[in-house]
Amino acid sequence: MPPILRDTAGLGIFFWLIGYLASMVLYFTPLSPIMGWVLLVVFTPFTLLVTWWWFVNRERLPLQYYAGVGGAWMLIAVVLDYLFIVQLFNTATYYAPDVFLYYALVFLIPVGVGWYLGRAGPAAHAG
């Protein structure tokens, strides 16, 4: 699989699926009414760390690449949320402030990591 496909579709679907599965578990707990905020608090640092780990030892890429990755992740999240939450569960009340913040973070995390790595200088190569 080409790196751009792993970076966009691979990681985007991975992050969405983990959040989706966690939301299915949280739905059956007392935290259900605030599940979106709980997921944001738990998975934002996780997504940031995995994204950092994924890109830190690679050759530096232009910021536009990271913006494309973020755009792809956001598009994946919007489409899959619509198909597998809004349509599947027939919930018109899904879109709330936590969801819009989630979409923004899904875009901004790879952009922020890319911006920081670009400022940090050349990548360290193993070996």
CA distance 41 to 57: 26
Name the maximum alpha-carbon separation found in the chain. 52
Q: What is the per-residue pLDDT across 70-123, written as a single tens digit (0 to 9) for each? A: 999 999 999 999 999 999 999 878 999 999 999 999 999 999 999 999 987 665
What is the pTM (predicted TM-score) of this model?
0.91
Q: What is the predicted pLDDT for the residue at 26?
A: 95
CB 73 within 8 A of CB 110: yes
CB 70 within 8 A of CB 110: yes
Q: What is the per-residue pLDDT across 15-67, written as a single tens digit (0 to 9) for each? A: 999 999 999 999 999 999 999 999 999 999 999 999 999 999 999 999 999 99
Nearest Cα neighbor of 111 from 75, 69, 78, 73 is 69
Which pair of tokens denotes residue 34?
A: 């605030």
Residue 61 falls inside a structural domain? yes
Residue 126 falls inside a structural domain? no
Domain that holds residue 100: 3-120
Q: How many distinct structural domains can be found in the chain? A: 1
Which pair of tokens denotes residue 67?
A: 């913006």
Q: What is the predicted pLDDT for the residue at 121?
A: 67
